[in-house]
Copies of this chain bind each other. A is one copy, B any other.
Amino acid sequence: MANRKAKSTIREFPLIQRLARRFAREAPGLVQGIGDDAAVVEPASRIWWHVTTDLLAEGIHFDFNSASPRSVGYRAAMANLSDLAAMGATPRYMVVSVAIPKTLKSSHIVGIYSGMMKACRRDRVALIGGDTSASKAGLFLNITLLGTTPTRKALFRHGAQVGDLIYVTGTLGDSLAGLRLLMPTHKTYRSSKSRIVLSRSHQRFLIDRHFHPTARVAEGLWLNRERLATSAIDLSDGLSGDLRHLCESSRVGAEIEPEKLPISAACRAYGKAAGSSPVQLALTGGEDYELLFTAAPGSRAKIERQAHARGYRVTCIGTIRSKRFGIRMSSGGNSRRLPITSYEHFH
């Protein structure tokens, strides 16, 4: 919110002020938006505030050679929306900091902000403040998002119990498959054979899932409101990594059935074309921004009935086990430890 400027003032800084004012809207509870030392918010009583932040760096999380500025902004906002979805929270206010290299075109800045605001529009999130800096190398984008739930009603990572069912929303691995399609140097995909096997519509689907993921805000709100989930996390690192986070927080183990993992037809086709295992894509692919949640076995019928009625896709992929059991995949009588993997972003 400070108006601090580096001497090496960048032409785009007034542009950002204009953009911020253009996107700043009246919002319920907002007392003072952009233009003072801090934004001011008057919350309803009996609520919890949820605060999440994500920092994205050019050359680490994105690259303007393969991603449009609009999709960079969109995905940055979605990453934060997804964190709030995993808390079962209603997203409300956004604060954006951006460090801008001199070489960046102003059209890129407009694109980034347009993308962010596009992602926010569905949930009516208001841009209430931010800061701007020059950058000697590369763009940095930091978003802080504030959301609310009723008091004592939120989806934490730490509530999973032994015997709970493990669910995911949507399909897994699409974003990673889309990312690989975008890499011209990816060997397995450069073979002429694979080009023939994977249809254009499958390619479009996977690339769109990479550039335009959908935070499962409605699903998180539903699970929280109906008290259907015992714990939840969003899939930003990939199932393998994020299931581990959830199990560590809940001090439990987990047993996953790989044949139950929801994998799209496009991802299956990509796996076939590229010679990759779709299960491996589903386990290690990050940035799907689906929700991973656990539920008491007694909630199964209600979850599946309500999800169907609402048009939400949820799939039971396994069961919470004791901590001693570890985190394992079981298939056809065989069981093996889930490998520890970390998601590869663009790099």
Chain A residues within 8 Å of B, Cβ to Cβ = 1-9, 31-32, 35-43, 45-61, 79, 82-84, 86-87, 89, 93, 95, 97-99, 128-138, 140, 142, 144-147, 151, 154, 156-158, 232-234, 236-237, 241-242, 245, 249, 286-287, 342-345, 347
Inter-chain contacts of A237 with B (CB < 8 A): 2-5
Known: A37-B83, A52-B38. A7 touches B344 (CB 8 A): yes
Inter-chain contacts of A140 with B (CB < 8 A): 55, 57, 99, 135, 140, 142
Known: A2-B236, A4-B236. A135 touches B53 (CB 8 A): no
For A2, A93, A136, A154, the residue with the greatest tally of chain B CB atoms inside 10 Å of its CB is A2
Contact B3 A37 (CB under 8 A): no
State the copy count for this chain.
2
Q: How far is the CB of A203 from chain B (nearest CB, A)?
A: 24
Contact B8 A347 (CB under 8 A): yes
Known: A8-B60, A137-B136. A50 touches B79 (CB 8 A): no
Closest to A36 in B: B157
Q: How far is the CB of A77 from chain B (nearest CB, A)?
A: 13
Checking B9, B86, B132 against A55 with a beta-carbon cut-off of 8 angstroms, the contacting residue is: B132
Closest to A249 in B: B35
Closest to A50 in B: B38
Inter-chain contacts of A132 with B (CB < 8 A): 55
CA distance A343 to B99 in the complex (A): 18
Checking B49, B136, B144 against A49 with a beta-carbon cut-off of 8 angstroms, the contacting residue is: B49
Contact A52 B2 (CB under 8 A): yes
Per CB-CB distance, the 9 closest pairs between chain A and chain B, nearest first, are A137-B137, A55-B97, A38-B52, A38-B50, A37-B86, A37-B83, A142-B142, A7-B344, A144-B144
CA distance A129 to B54 in the complex (A): 10
Q: How far is the CB of A96 from chain B (nearest CB, A)?
A: 8
